[in-house]
Structure 1
């Protein structure tokens, strides 16, 4: 900046410092007149005082050395404050553009009135004035963005803490109410919990499923060894939820029954975790608790399950591996075919008489009759227990 430009700007700045209230009134009026969000976020008195200080420091900066620009320190503090108040960044930057317009217009008017012979020099000064405003805008944008990230981080931490309290059953009535407000969820409503064991699928923290499921939302939370989704079902059914999850899940998942409030998410989480434990690792597989009740009962009572397996299948399981696996596969297939030897033979690519002979041997080894319903229940449950045990990590 040459000396003529510097002296011209300093002359104008000294004069405008004497009109500080007038310039403040104009800038506040133009800012609030065109931005209702700014009005809602910033009280008038605070806005007026901070604007006056900002204009004063901006004009004073013209009189100082570049290394002494205290206006940038003030700009940083105000950007942080406006971020905390919820003023949108666009509104904040608009205010700086207006500040540049008001300041520059006032400088031009003063020079036209008091020193018209210096207008040619003033033209050369324009870029310096707008550069100063741009510096303020850049500082404001940088500080605002940092503060916004801090606020969002704290907000996410609070959301996570509230989800944890709901899932762990440590939420009292007040916390449930706070969680409903923070998560934008009703205290009473149709909820389910989904647990997913790794490998997980790609998702965001707060997911809205396709329009076909209406207002259904999934709020995800990382837990030790798995992830949890609190599902606000709206009017969607578990069938519809599982259908959408099947397009996303690459591991194994458990789905709880529907509960009717946030205060029941602990129970739903426990049930979803139990359902997930009925899946054999590898997946993809989605287990609904209401479709896995016998298996869930067995993994919930491992001692009883062990007695059942030993009593029903102990002798069969003691056979050499090849013989054992052949008979277990035959039993599983025979049960899946509703006791039809012909259908089981078709699935296993052997003769019907082979299936009949294997079934007789199974009956001899187990002491159960596959013609007796109660014995079929015992064998079915024991076979399911063997599958669960073989699928454990």
Structure 2
């Protein structure tokens, strides 16, 4: 192991003879360390088979002892083995702190055994170990740093692979492919029940503004996918109602979004995503809102068929479309306010900052231009749907 000052001939002689005896005692030291580690934490038993653990501890001890008595130019097999162990323990899921604890305990055992050997064979040489101690613990520190770096690199790679697999599973579910066993694989990969209450939310986002993805809140779990112009969330609802999801998104994700109805299995996420897209289409460009499809079904019917929506606008509004754009906008704004106010001219007038008679006059003119009466239910439905179509479908 590395050191700052050259060792004397006497120190080399003591180290070489002591190291040979240390190597002979490795099996017993490995037994002792395995028992100590497994008594310290049951996770060693869970992560590493006992025989494998004993063998690897023995190897690591041998390489460490060899490094203790090696020259500076000798190959560092202890560091190579530390890299190998770091990678393997990360794959096995043993916490890094337990791996580093094992290295420290191995260092204590070897040091105590070295002191015992020198004390038995050559007590006068014990003072020489003062300098050896700094060499040895510097070496243990290097081994620990090497094992930790390899562990973290492997952990990051495993996390990246897991993330990529999760994203691929989400993409496949959201596309709605009929691949056999997809839902079962996704359930295992995402740690979700194959049958459960799910919804899909689509949010239009400003790529120049920060967007904070919710991971878990109010009993709901979120799994996000980024698209070119929106963020897609698969939401495991648990027992939460859709109202709770909508309120949460309004509070945490300001902007415009659409929420699908509840579906009851992972296999239904593809259709749910398409329904969330339709819900998003029902949101106008003027004011941000997050809407549920099941609350916007009539409008959703309109926007889901732009060709029919265009025919509806032309057929219902007819002569209205030939007016000056500003004049047309005033009439349509009045109709929208009157509808939003539940057919109350007084409340609509307050919203529009005009007299209620002005509202009545504009509505009568609108009826004349469209040849429809707002007092007839069928005509009112046509006018309402035509207004949605005019505002939400491309010109």
Tell me, yes or no, if structure 1 residue 155 matches structure 2 residue 162.
yes
Shift of 1:55: 1.3
Give the corresponding residue for 1:203.
Answer: 212
Query: In 1, are the aligned partners of 2:170 and 2:186 still within 8 Å (CA)?
Result: yes
1:346 to 350, 355, 360: 350
Shift of 1:28: 2.3
Shift of 1:306: 0.6
The SS at the match of 2:159 is helix
Query: 1:124-179 CA deviation, whole Å, 9 max, x = no partner?
Result: 32111111111100000011000000001111111111111211112545221121
Give the corresponding residue for 1:320.
Answer: 324
Query: In 2, are the aligned partners of 1:165 and 1:171 still within 8 Å (CA)?
Result: no
User: How far apart, in 1, do the equivalents of 2:204 and 2:181 lie?
Assistant: 31
Give the corresponding residue for 1:138.
Answer: 145
TM-score (norm 1): 0.93
User: How far apart, in 2, do the equivalents of 1:358 and 1:281 lie?
Assistant: 24
The SS at the match of 1:247 is helix
Give the corresponding residue for 1:291.
Answer: 295
Give the corresponding residue for 1:26.
Answer: 32
Change (3 A) 1:241 1:108: same
Tell me, yes or no, if structure 1 residue 54 matches structure 2 residue 63.
no
Query: In 2, are the aligned partners of 1:252 and 1:282 still within 8 Å (CA)?
Result: no
Change (3 A) 1:186 1:386: same
Shift of 1:202: 3.5
TM-score (norm 2): 0.92
The SS at the match of 1:191 is strand
Give the corresponding residue for 1:219.
Answer: 223
Q: Please, which runs of 5 or more residues in structure 1 have no aligned partner?
A: none
Aligned residues: 386
User: How far apart, in 1, do the equivalents of 2:162 and 2:368 lie?
Assistant: 65
User: How far apart, in 2, do the equivalents of 1:237 and 1:352 lie?
Assistant: 40
Please show how residues 1-393 of structure 1 align to structure 2 within 5 Å.
Answer: 1=5, 2-3=7-8, 4-67=10-73, 68-199=75-206, 202-204=211-213, 207-209=215-217, 213=218, 215-281=219-285, 283-389=287-393
Q: Please, which runs of 5 or more residues in structure 2 have no aligned partner?
A: none
Query: In 2, are the aligned partners of 1:250 and 1:283 still within 8 Å (CA)?
Result: no
User: How far apart, in 2, do the equivalents of 1:56 and 1:85 lie?
Assistant: 23
Query: In 1, are the aligned partners of 2:212 and 2:253 still within 8 Å (CA)?
Result: no
User: How far apart, in 2, do the equivalents of 1:342 and 1:59 lie?
Assistant: 92
Shift of 1:71: 1.1
User: How far apart, in 2, do the equivalents of 1:323 and 1:203 lie?
Assistant: 42
User: How far apart, in 1, do the equivalents of 2:287 and 2:333 lie?
Assistant: 20
Query: In 1, are the aligned partners of 2:203 and 2:231 still within 8 Å (CA)?
Result: yes
Query: In 2, are the aligned partners of 1:251 and 1:282 still within 8 Å (CA)?
Result: no
Query: In 1, are the aligned partners of 2:200 and 2:269 still within 8 Å (CA)?
Result: yes
Query: In 2, are the aligned partners of 1:257 and 1:268 still within 8 Å (CA)?
Result: yes
